[in-house]
Amino acid sequence: MRMPIIGGNWKMNRGSPSSAITMLRVLKRLVKNIHNVEIVIAPPFTALFSVIQYLKKTVIRVGAQNVYFEDSGAFTGEISPKFLKEIGCEYVILGHSERRNIFLESDEVINKKIKKSLSYGLRPIVCIGEHLEDREAGNTERVIEKQLEYTFKDLNKKDMMNIVIAYEPIWAIGTGKTATPEQAEEIHRFIRNYLGEKYDNDLKTGIRIQYGGSINPSNAEALFQKENIDGGLVGGASLEAESLYEIIKSAERS
């Protein structure tokens, strides 16, 4: 049985420790009786340390939204996995479409970030997904396969077991347009089969694959009920405790 995982990607919102903790004070209380869902909050860097301190001894885990692939040195503005580990961060979101499209991160760069993060014991949540034009041209599986091949290049089974994949169709992120449960399930199954062929059945059945793209309290449950969907990576709806809690409850029910 794979435990569903709900990630809250706050993006460039709730950046002050006080704003982050105001929300988390409510969430912490609400999720007290949640046992069968892993919850990860990824605040901006400016709130990360305070959030980690605040959530110690709770069931809520903490992730960063980005990292660089070196340990330290002359890389102005960057943060290393070593630093994240030192402050108690456990997860890191990598390959988000905003990083790929706005900051032009390639599969190769993301692959380096994954490897360095894993070497420090950080658990990457790695996003992949197609553009609308890819889907309309019938190229979704080809695009996903290429991302799987290059983003996860030279990773062994043990590495992959420490990774969570987030399938996030780019046309569904922040647009209010969600993939239907059937559309999402089709790609999740495709990803699982690809990994089964490349690695083995253990990885195929064990790796967690989240869906991301305009998840909200009303569409979450139908998505999470699908066999191959193990929770979600949530942007907009993760900014308020009540809506995130509703989504977490949907994952617990399914």
248/37 Cα distance (integer angstroms): 7
Helices (H), 140-217: 140-151, 157-161, 181-198, 201-206
Interface pattern 219-238 for ligand PEP (x via CB under 6 A): --------------xxxxx-
Q: At what angle do helices 45-55 and 17-30 cross, to 10 degrees?
A: 40
**Residue 107: partners with Cβ closer than 8 Å, 6 or more residues away:** 95, 146, 147, 150, 151, 153
- The smaller minimum CB distance to ligand PEP, of residues 175 and 205, is found at 175
Task: Verify binding: residue 132, ligand PEP, rule CB under 6 A.
Answer: no
Which residues have CB under 8 Å from 194's CB, separation 6+? 144, 145, 148
Kindly tell me which of 155 and 237 has the beta carbon lying closer to ligand PEP.
237
Q: What angle do CA 114, 120, 123 make, to 5 degrees?
A: 55
One residue of 5, 8, 9, 187 binding ligand PEP per CB under 6 A: 9
CB of 214 to ligand PEP, least distance (A): 4
For ligand PEP, the binding residue among 80, 117, 147, 214 (CB under 6 A) is: 214
* Nearest-angstrom CA–CA distance, 70 and 169: 29
Q: For residues 84 and 170, which CB has a smaller minimum distance to ligand PEP in the complex?
A: 170
Q: Which residues are catalytic?
A: 96, 168
Burial class (CB in 10 A: 0-12, 13-18, 19+), 116: buried
Min dist CB 239 to ligand PEP, Å, is: 9
- CA within 13 Å, CB half, 233: 35
Q: From the list 43, 129, 212, 231, which residue makes contact with ligand PEP (rule: CB under 6 A)?
A: 212
Whichever of 100 and 116 has its CB closer to ligand PEP, that residue is 100
Of 46-54, 79-87, 191-199, 207-215: span binding ligand PEP (CB under 6 A): 207-215
Minimum distance from CB of 102 to ligand PEP (Å)? 12
Query: Does residue 213 touch ligand PEP according to CB under 6 A?
Result: yes
Binding to ligand PEP (CB under 6 A): which residues in 137-196?
Answer: 168, 173-174
Q: Which of 205, 237, 235, 190 is nearest to 218 (CA)?
A: 237
Residues binding ligand PEP (CB under 6 A): 9, 168, 173-174, 212-215, 233-237
